[in-house]
Amino acid sequence: MFLPFAAGYYLSYLFRTINTLIAGRLTSDLGLGAADIGLLTSIYFLIVMAVQIPIGMCLDRFGPRRVQSTLLGVAAAGAALFGLSTGILSLLVGRAMIGLGTAAALMSGLKIIVLWFPRERMALLNGFMIMLGSLGAVTATAPAEVLLDGIGWRGLFEALAAVTALAGILIYLVVPERSTGALPSTKPATLKTICSDARFWRIAPLSATCIGSAWALQSLWAAPWLDDVERLDRTSLVDELFAMALTLSLSALLLGLLANWMRRRGKTTEALFAVVAVMLIGAELVLILHPPWLSLLPWYAVSVAASATALTYAIIGDYFPTELVARANGALNVLQFGWAFIVQYGTGLILEQWPLQAGHYPLIAYQIAFGVNVLLQLATLVCFAVPWFGGLKGRVGPLVARQGTGRWSSDEVIVPAAEVVILETDEDKAW
């Protein structure tokens, strides 16, 4: 049950990140510019975003086995078309078909986890799923470079088409069915249930701007940055992309283990996700400031943030019943993939506002593009942390007032503290 869906997610991650490796070849073979490459790569995220809600509904109704096996057939056809393309239009159509065909890869895997495994293990298993899937990003670096040297980007996509079709057949033949059951009639399974939940809208913007940005940067703009700003040669660049992808895979497992450890001790994973968001913003600020040393460490931090779905999907799984989990994850993915599209395409548009200098875009172009992104991430981080600020104020306020009177006793300290605990619990329930 688990491994066939992990294979499907592996292929989706490979397709998502392969363009950062072949962008130079597409530019030289077909004469594409930065905006063309940005649009071609980001159309994947746009299509995935557009179909997340209907796919979530199909997963809840028809089950992951039938949905995923069918869609992987579409992805295989898209990969075949991409490999045969001679212009931007056919490339866009092929890439869009790949996006549609792999749009359910992660959600179907998460649905399998919800159906077959206990909830207290969801964060850990999500981490395993994302770790195995993100090995596709590892494959899309040095291993794929070897294949590119041997069979070219066209031959690579024809091979991927065959493997993807085989994965779809495997899922259909091997994975058993399991009914999700039905929600009680007093709580209909509608999208309104998700969109009206304040907890969802607290975490979704931060998740979108951070995880979506990390996806967009790692799957496309990391390579141009290392080429234009750091001036790495091709071998060094591919090696760094490989290290970033390996960091992504290992950090997914690590975050899953940390989340599982926290949940077993009765703690939520929201704080851990906030730490990852702060780390990503700090890494992007380092890239923007560009100190006089190689920017490899910040790019590794971006890779860690790209794996934080191991946390957010587990958090969403705690918010909603089993019958709504796929739709809730789909709604979250709409925002994450939508933001990834905006960052990938928007970065390309911003870069083209500056002329090439000896075949490279200047540092200031990247600084402007990344700076706009960081400002929006900071805004969503503040919104996410507002309830914590309120809880801290509730703890500190009564104690400060007591301190100002100069009268301290055990009763005067203990009673207000107990009152604060009650207020905090009510606040948490509201969220």
Tokens representing 242 are: 């490989």
Phi-psi region of 62 (alpha: psi -120 to 50; beta: other; left: phi over 0): alpha
Return the bridge partners of 357, or none: 360
Indicate if the pLDDT at residue 205 is higher than 90. yes
For residue 182, name the pLDDT band (cuts at 50, 70, 90). very low
With cut-offs at 50, 70 and 90, classify the pLDDT of residue 431.
Answer: very low
| pTM recorded for the entire structure | 0.72
Element (H, E) at 149: helix 142-174
The per-residue pLDDT for 327 is 78
The kind and range of the H/E element at 86 are none
Is the pLDDT score of 187 beyond 70?
Answer: no
Over residues 123-128, the mean pLDDT reads 77
Q: 């998740």: which residue's tokens?
A: 207
What is the fold of 2-176+197-397?
A: Growth Hormone; Chain: A; (1.20.1250)
Angle formed by the axes of helices 105-116 and 2-17, to 10°? 160
State the pLDDT at residue 179. 61
| DSSP conformation letters of 168-234 | HHHHHHHPPP-------TTS---HHHHHT-HHHHHHHHHHHHHHHHHHHIIIIIHHHHHHHTS---H
Domain ranges of the chain: 2-176+197-397
> What is the tens place of the pLDDT at every residue in 76-121?
999 999 999 988 999 999 999 999 999 999 888 878 887 888 777 7
Nearest to 222 by CA among 240, 234, 206: 240
- Measured CA to CA, the distance from residue 106 to residue 111 in angstroms comes to 9
Look up residue 220 and give its two tokens: 């496309």
Give the residue carrying structure tokens 């460490």: 297
